[in-house]
Structure formats: structure tokens, C-alpha cells
A and B are shown apart, each in its own frame.
Chain A
């Protein structure tokens, strides 16, 4: 498949990059944080609207167990982050959804916390899925310690020393979330009524906010415990180290069905991202009067350093990261000649189409940083109407046309071939954990979880070809109602800018990791550390300013702090 940009004379109004390019699963699996990732837009909002955060309750014992409440004030309303810290045995610490206990459980709560509500939270939040929470809870989540990092930081600080950066670089966080629930899960507040909230009316903003606040807690927590342990000898964690540490997140297969089951949302996210990119790509590069070339070079240097510092145990990811470093180094070395002759940034990006997807997507993230005034407006386009419907007045041929124009990736697959239906997806009795099994070898394919959009589109195409091309679509569906669901989807997504993700999740070599990566990068994750082909650890808010110093400047690609160099403003300014 061709993965290059079309020539400028073939531009359409949507994007320089066609859906076949953008929605290709492998490219989705190479995405990085951008200016319009949710963590970035949240921080700009906090900064611009002067949100405030204070400790409302700090009720922890000397070992750090107990409860803590932070009070978040926005221009519109007040919220509280309620945190419960429990002692658990090492063997109880499990990232998977099937876990029963966690080091930290927390909730972002709408409004004030009275005694009755606090008692209810205390009884239910630590139970997570097994509890029944008040609908004043907007976000319900839990996290486990990175024991190695946590113990090392606390003991170092207690001794009056800063922690060893090499230890921190292995992980990049103190706490790792293993699920962050919003939108009505387990009885909490639905997302829809937040339509009227200026604070949290955008997809996943409440969840991202809860994660940002738990990061604040994790940093306060280690300072508190070091002080308890070391007394007068103890020191606080260095501010630059605090900024370097984010919140970890462990994500498994559970995230993949979301992307398949919410195609309108995914299309909206990717369309907004492409729209923002296009706004940049049409800009003239000009001479360096506007400093953009220098800014881009600076950001790419930072990316090179970031990918040099990232630690992962995953061999393929190690190779991908080192490829990025090599490719971007070469690009940096020839930067002047690479820019030369390019009129627009689209020309420049097109010249880089031979690079790996990872490198190309690093460049798009960097390019989007150059024009905040053009890009940031797209951040408000994260929500989508998820209605999928069939129009009136259309005939069978109209739907065939859509399939042939937008679903070639599906209708060209031979689903008779075993490798193309190798996997089946299902939910386990074990806390409904999504899993994959090998068809014909493992039990459960009779209860297959229908994520097979490619196969369904293919089947629909074959059925339509048997029908009279001029038959009304509504009549065809009335006679063959089993096709209505996929027909609605194909029609709706076939008329969206980016449409469906182009992946056959049943295919033997399909990598769910690509789907996870797509969503996580939209959140704004960094440091992708796959633990298997179905499980990934990332960091959120790594390199982000702390709440007290929140700002709207960029913090792309977190870097290890260099404590031997006096700080000159922000950490990311230290690269010459």
C-alpha cells in the first residue's frame, strides 16, 4: 500500500493524507502526543482559567496509609479528588482488571464532600468495580506503586539525597494507574449531562484531570513519607525531578474494543488531528524570519534525546526507538538541504515519507508545535455525535459505491483463508476481561465478541452484489435485516473524513497494540513500553509542569533533568 502524501495538486479539502494513510493501523500504532492531545489541552485550560488546587484533608499515618482529599476550584465549580491509600501484599499488586486490591484508589467528585458522601466513598472506592458509588463521582480509578521507584525515592530523600536518575529513567513514574473509569461506569456520573459543563464537557477530560491530580498526590506522598522517615535529615524531591515524573498507566486489551465500538469518536479525533496538521502544512516555510525552522530543529533534537533515554524491555520497540534516533539524527545533519527547495511544510513532510512511521509521526508532532495559533483551535473538536444511520432515497448501488471507495481494505480480504480469521475476541467470566483466543483451538468462539468490522463489511458487500443494484436500500434491509447494523456503520463512516480504522482484528498478525497506542497518544501518553503484543505501559504527564507552575507552553518529549546545570527557566529550554 502507498503511504506517501499525495501531490499538492491532488489535495482535497480534508487532508493532505488520505484515510488509507491516516487510518492504516500501523501508522496509528506510531502516533505520539501532540498539542491537541487531551493532557496538553487540559493544562492549557487550567492555566488560562487559573484553576486552583489545595489540600483539603491529609489524614495519613506514618506509613502513608489513610485518606487524602484535594480541593479543585475552577471558575465554574468545585471538585474534590478523594484518595485512599491501603496496605497490600506484594503478590496482590496486579495491573490486570482481575486484580482485587490496589495501593491507591481514588475518585474525582463533583461538588462538596459531606460526611455521608465521604463514608460512602470510603466504603466503595477501594472496592472499585465491586463497589457501588455515588453518582457524584465523576471518575473512579486506582493505581499501584512502582515499588522500586517508590522505595528508592523515599529512602533517598529520607537520607537527604536526591534519587538516582537512572533508576527513575527505568520507569518514569511513582504510581501506575490500571484503570480510570468515567462516563457512568459502576454507577458514577454519566458523561452526557456534562454537556453543560465548561470544565469537563470534553471526552476524557475528567479522567485526565483525575490522573493529573493523582500525580500531584504521588509527589506530595513521597515527600511526606521521606519526612516521616528521615525527620530533619530529609529533603524534598527536586522540582525538576518532580516535573520529570509522570503517572504510569498499564493498558491491556480492554482499550481495543473501545476504538472499534466508537468509530465516530475515533474519526473525530483523527480528523481533528489531521485538520490541525493540515493548517500547519499549508504554511510557507519562508526564510527563518519567523524562527520556525530553528524551532523545529530544536524540537527534533529533543525528540532524539527523548528516544535515546527511553527505557523499554520490548525488543521491537527498542528497535523502533533506535531507528527514530538514527533517522532523525541524519535528518538533523542534513537539515538545511532537506528544507531547501521546500515551499510549504507539506513539501518538507512529503520529503520525509521514506522514513519509518515512528519518525514521520514525531515530525508531525513537532510541526504542530510551531503554530499554536493555528493548531489549538482544533483541540475543541474532540466530541462526536455517535449516531450511525442509513439515509432515505438510496439504492443498493449507492452502498456498494461507498464500500468500494472506502472499504477496499475490508472487501479485498479473503475471509475464507484461516489466517484472516485466526483470532476470536471474547469477554471472560473473570471480571469481564477482554481476551483473544485462537479459533478452533480454544473455547469461546461461540460467544465471539463482534469486533470483526472488516469481515462484516466484506459479507455485506457480497450480499449487496447479489441484490438488484437499483433496489431501495430500505427494502433490501427490510428483507435482510441482519445487515442493517453494518450497513449503518459503512454508510456513516464511509461519509466521514477519516472513517473506520483499517484493521482486521481477526488476522493472525494483527497487533492490538496499534489500537492501544492510537488512543493513548490521543490522551497524550509518552514512553511507550510494550510488555507483550497486548499490553503496554506508558506515562501520562511526564515532563508536564506541576499544578503550582502550570503553564501553556509546550512540554513535548520529556527529558531526564540535568541537575548539575543551574536551571534556566523550564527544563525543556536546557538544550542549546
Chain B
């Protein structure tokens, strides 16, 4: 089916609020999902997959495991990345300061795909980004690379794990100059280019956004969790007319 951007944002917002988490910002998460969906990268599927994790995880702060010159390692304790990434990026950019390069190692996190729009926002700050993660299922490895001042990244997918990361970790590197990724992408199996992402995104604004019917139904069901059962007393709560 075809849906609008505002519908996705509204629906994800409600779905996240329905999970009654203290940590995580519904408006930002909704935007992350919508942007990923508009890029043709199954944002709603990823959010639906993330929902059980978000529902079951504890509202705990993340721990700084190690902080060194130009790098930091954080433990998310099995949390979904969507609930913490905006705060992590604030912190990391502050720590990066005037350095040319900064590396963040995130361990024990889920739903890394949903980092897409938060990382893409770096473009507006003139920061280049390289993010990598391994998966338990295909694609086994993903590289996200964003050139400075580009709005859309290039994405590389690999059928085999590449970097000996734990499958619940993610590495994000920031730089004031573009990354040389020749070595990293030698063996990729599929690429989605910045031009393709741009075209898909523009088409989505114009023609509406394609969503799988089943995934939309799942999201709608999650969004219904915030609704309160109707009753005679409740009906009066709208203000009689």
C-alpha cells in the first residue's frame, strides 16, 4: 500500500509511546523510521522487528566503558539503538571537538539499521561518517559511508561477516575529511548508491511511500496500544456537545 510521510511519523510515534518507555524520543524515532522507509530501506519492518526489544529492555543509562584520545566505547546493555543514538551523537560530537577524527564503538545494541537518519544528519554539520556492523543474518556485514556535505550515504552489503565484530556491536567513525573506503569495500556483494537513495526519496515524496501491507498492519496494532477502552464515562471526557 501507499502511505504518506506524516502517516508513518504519526503511527510510529503512537507505537513508541504505547511502549511506555522512559528513554527514547518518540518524535525522533518516528523520523528515523520514516526516513529509512522513504529511502526504500524497510524502516517499518526494522521498527516492527525492534518493537519486542524496545518493549522488553530496561530503561537504563548507557555506560562509558573506555574513553581515550579520539575514541570512546559505550555499552548499551542490549538496548535498541533508537532509544539512545541521538544522545550518543550529541555526546560524541562534543567529545570530537576540534579533532579531525573520532571513533565510537557501541557494544550490545540492537536495531542498528535505524541509525540511518541520525547518521545522515551529520551531513548538515559537515562531518563525514563511516559506520559498520555485522549481522547474525544476511546481509552479514553492512557499511554506511557518508561524504561530507552529502545528504545521502552509499551503502555496501556483504554476504559474509567482515570485521570480527560481535553481531550486536557497531562502529561509527566521524571525520572532517571524507573516508578512503577502497580497502573496506573490496568484497561487497551489493551497493545502494547515494544517487539511488536520492531518487527513491524524491519519488516517495511525489508518489507516496510504499509499505508492505502486513508490516503496516503490525505497526497499526502496536500504535493501538495507547488507546483507552471506550466507556460511558470516557465518552463524556470529550466534552459534551
Residue A45 is within 8 A (CB to CB) of chain B in the complex: no
- Given the contacts A193-B205, A392-B94, A484-B87, A187 and B234 also touching, CB distance less than 8 Å: no
Return chain B residues, CB-CB under 8 Å to A95: 241
Residue B238 is within 8 A (CB to CB) of chain A in the complex: yes
Return chain A residues, CB-CB under 8 Å to B14: 427
Contact-size category for A: 35 or more
Residue A341 is within 8 A (CB to CB) of chain B in the complex: no
Q: Compute how far the CA of A178 lies from the CA of B4 in the bound complex, rounded to whole angstroms.
A: 22
Contact: A532 with B226, CB < 8 Å?
no
- Residue of A250, A435, A450, A533 most packed against chain B (CB within 10 A): A435
Interface residues of A in 463-497 (CB under 8 A from B): 472, 474-475, 477-482, 484-485, 488
Residue A357 is within 8 A (CB to CB) of chain B in the complex: no
Contact: A184 with B4, CB < 8 Å?
yes
Contact: B7 with A428, CB < 8 Å?
no
Q: Could you tell me the distance in whole angstroms from the C-beta of A473 to the nearest C-beta in chain B?
A: 8
Contact-size category for B: 35 or more
Return chain B residues, CB-CB under 8 Å to A433: 238
Closest to B228 in A: A444
Q: Compute how far the CA of A427 lies from the CA of B239 in the bound complex, rounded to whole angstroms.
A: 13
Q: Compute how far the CA of A96 lies from the CA of B6 in the bound complex, rounded to whole angstroms.
A: 23
- Residue of A392, A393, A481 most packed against chain B (CB within 10 A): A481
Choose one: B6, B87, B235; the contact of A478 (CB below 8 Å).
B87
Interface residues of A in 399-458 (CB under 8 A from B): 426-430, 432-437, 442-444, 446-447, 449-450
Return chain A residues, CB-CB under 8 Å to B61: 478-481
Closest to A135 in B: B208
Q: Compute how far the CA of A477 lies from the CA of B24 in the bound complex, rounded to whole angstroms.
A: 12
Contact: B5 with A96, CB < 8 Å?
no
Q: Compute how far the CA of A250 lies from the CA of B239 in the bound complex, rounded to whole angstroms.
A: 12
Contact: B5 with A430, CB < 8 Å?
no
Closest to A477 in B: B87
Contact: B91 with A474, CB < 8 Å?
yes
Q: Compute how far the CA of A186 lies from the CA of B233 in the bound complex, rounded to whole angstroms.
A: 28
Q: Could you tell me the distance in whole angstroms from the C-beta of B209 to the nearest C-beta in chain A?
A: 9
Return chain A residues, CB-CB under 8 Å to B208: 135, 187
Choose one: A435, A442, A482; the contact of B59 (CB below 8 Å).
A482
Return chain B residues, CB-CB under 8 Å to A437: 233-234, 237
Return chain B residues, CB-CB under 8 Å to A127: none
Residue A551 is within 8 A (CB to CB) of chain B in the complex: no
Contact: A535 with B3, CB < 8 Å?
no
Q: Compute how far the CA of A252 lies from the CA of B241 in the bound complex, rounded to whole angstroms.
A: 9
A358-400 Cβ-contact flags toward B at 8 Å (1 or 0): 0000000000000000000000000000000010110000000
Contact: B5 with A427, CB < 8 Å?
no
- Given the contacts A185-B6, A429-B229, A393 and B238 also touching, CB distance less than 8 Å: no
Q: Could you tell me the distance in whole angstroms from the C-beta of A131 to the nearest C-beta in chain B?
A: 13
- Residue of A192, A253, A393, A478 most packed against chain B (CB within 10 A): A478
Contact: A427 with B1, CB < 8 Å?
no
Q: Compute how far the CA of A530 lies from the CA of B233 in the bound complex, rounded to whole angstroms.
A: 21
Contact: A442 with B205, CB < 8 Å?
no
- Given the contacts A192-B205, A443-B234, A478 and B4 also touching, CB distance less than 8 Å: no
Contact: A484 with B234, CB < 8 Å?
no
Q: Compute how far the CA of A535 lies from the CA of B88 in the bound complex, rounded to whole angstroms.
A: 43
Contact: B6 with A183, CB < 8 Å?
yes
Contact: B2 with A187, CB < 8 Å?
yes
- Given the contacts A393-B94, A482-B23, A135 and B87 also touching, CB distance less than 8 Å: no
Q: Could you tell me the distance in whole angstroms from the C-beta of B116 to the nearest C-beta in chain A?
A: 18
Contact: A427 with B227, CB < 8 Å?
yes
Return chain B residues, CB-CB under 8 Å to A426: 226, 228, 237
Q: Compute how far the CA of A512 lies from the CA of B205 in the bound complex, rounded to whole angstroms.
A: 35
Contact: B241 with A531, CB < 8 Å?
yes
B82-114 Cβ-contact flags toward A at 8 Å (1 or 0): 011011101101100000000000000000000
Q: Could you tell me the distance in whole angstroms from the C-beta of B208 to the nearest C-beta in chain A?
A: 4
Residue B173 is within 8 A (CB to CB) of chain A in the complex: no
Residue B192 is within 8 A (CB to CB) of chain A in the complex: no
Residue B115 is within 8 A (CB to CB) of chain A in the complex: no
Q: Compute how far the CA of A482 lies from the CA of B20 in the bound complex, rounded to whole angstroms.
A: 12
Contact: B237 with A442, CB < 8 Å?
yes
Return chain B residues, CB-CB under 8 Å to A183: 4, 6
B57-88 Cβ-contact flags toward A at 8 Å (1 or 0): 00101101000000000000000000110111
Return chain B residues, CB-CB under 8 Å to A534: 238-239
Residue A191 is within 8 A (CB to CB) of chain B in the complex: yes
Residue B207 is within 8 A (CB to CB) of chain A in the complex: yes
Residue A44 is within 8 A (CB to CB) of chain B in the complex: no
Residue A222 is within 8 A (CB to CB) of chain B in the complex: no
Q: Compute how far the CA of A469 lies from the CA of B32 in the bound complex, rounded to whole angstroms.
A: 32
Choose one: A135, A450, A474; the contact of B17 (CB below 8 Å).
A450
Residue A328 is within 8 A (CB to CB) of chain B in the complex: no
Residue B137 is within 8 A (CB to CB) of chain A in the complex: no
Return chain B residues, CB-CB under 8 Å to A474: 87, 90-91, 94
Return chain B residues, CB-CB under 8 Å to A186: 7
Contact: A428 with B87, CB < 8 Å?
no
Q: Could you tell me the distance in whole angstroms from the C-beta of B176 to the nearest C-beta in chain A?
A: 15
Contact: B84 with A481, CB < 8 Å?
yes
Choose one: A193, A442, A479; the contact of B233 (CB below 8 Å).
A442
Q: Compute how far the CA of A185 lies from the CA of B3 in the bound complex, rounded to whole angstroms.
A: 9
Q: Compute how far the CA of A185 lies from the CA of B9 in the bound complex, rounded to whole angstroms.
A: 11
- Residue of B25, B26, B87, B205 most packed against chain A (CB within 10 A): B87
Return chain A residues, CB-CB under 8 Å to B64: 478
Residue B240 is within 8 A (CB to CB) of chain A in the complex: yes
Return chain B residues, CB-CB under 8 Å to A122: none
- Given the contacts A191-B6, A252-B239, A478-B62, A444 and B234 also touching, CB distance less than 8 Å: yes
Residue B186 is within 8 A (CB to CB) of chain A in the complex: no
Residue B180 is within 8 A (CB to CB) of chain A in the complex: no
- Given the contacts A190-B205, A482-B23, A428 and B234 also touching, CB distance less than 8 Å: yes
Q: Could you tell me the distance in whole angstroms from the C-beta of B5 to the nearest C-beta in chain A?
A: 5
- Residue of B23, B24, B90 most packed against chain A (CB within 10 A): B90
Q: Compute how far the CA of A477 lies from the CA of B237 in the bound complex, rounded to whole angstroms.
A: 36
Residue A132 is within 8 A (CB to CB) of chain B in the complex: yes
Closest to B237 in A: A435
Residue B56 is within 8 A (CB to CB) of chain A in the complex: no
Return chain B residues, CB-CB under 8 Å to A393: 94
B168-205 Cβ-contact flags toward A at 8 Å (1 or 0): 00000000000000000000000000000000000001
Q: Compute how far the CA of A533 lies from the CA of B90 in the bound complex, rounded to whole angstroms.
A: 42
Return chain B residues, CB-CB under 8 Å to A531: 239-241
B22-52 Cβ-contact flags toward A at 8 Å (1 or 0): 1111110000000000000000000000000
10 closest residue pairs by CB, A with B: A534-B239, A184-B6, A184-B4, A435-B237, A444-B228, A482-B22, A135-B208, A474-B91, A429-B227, A430-B230
A184-B5, A427-B227, A447-B228 given; 17 more Cβ-contact pairs under 8 Å: A135-B4, A184-B7, A187-B2, A187-B3, A187-B208, A188-B4, A250-B241, A393-B94, A426-B237, A428-B227, A429-B229, A436-B237, A437-B233, A442-B233, A443-B233, A481-B83, A482-B59
- 22 A-B residue pairings within 8 Å (CB atoms): A183-B4, A184-B6, A192-B5, A252-B239, A252-B241, A427-B227, A427-B228, A428-B227, A428-B228, A428-B237, A429-B229, A437-B237, A442-B233, A446-B20, A447-B18, A447-B20, A474-B91, A484-B25, A484-B86, A488-B25, A531-B241, A534-B239
